[in-house]
Amino acid sequence: LAMQKIRHYSTQRLLGNHVPYAIEAYPENDQRHLSAESALYCRIFIEGLLGVEPVSLSQISFTPSLPSDWDHIKMRSLYLFGQEVDVAVTRHRKRLRVELSTESGFTFDRKITPGESITIDIPHTAGIR
């Protein structure tokens, strides 16, 4: 049911004539107090489907879960630890393949079972600490 609601909302807001925010910011609808809640839409995918959770200043935990009718999810240009990161989760039979690459050249590639958490230590780029 949740994925049906997300699919409907995304179709209406992303492919319709509105921006993907629940309530457009002030002054369009005069409800500026609700505009910050629009960030919750992004959190559905980053925290919900990818299960992203910071562990330390250089480590991130992933617990990805794909809906049964999805074979992959890709997110580009996430900013983690001061650098741009691309993440892809792909279904391979009964396992999930987690791929991560950073703009500095770091790559991570591992197959896990659905629901399994992995922690990735992402090296800092020069000048970032």
CA 6 – CA 41 distance, rounded (Å): 9
Q: At residue 127, does pLDDT exceed 50?
A: no
CA 40 – CA 55 distance, rounded (Å): 21
pLDDT, one tens digit per residue, over 43-98 is 788 888 889 999 998 899 999 988 888 999 999 998 888 889 999 999 998 999 99
CA 37 – CA 26 distance, rounded (Å): 13
Rounded percentage of the chain residues whose pLDDT exceeds 90: 36
- Global pTM reads 0.74
Of 90, 87, 93, whose CA–CA distance to 52 is shortest? 87
Number of C-beta neighbours around residue 89 at 10 A: 24
Q: At residue 4, does pLDDT exceed 60?
A: yes
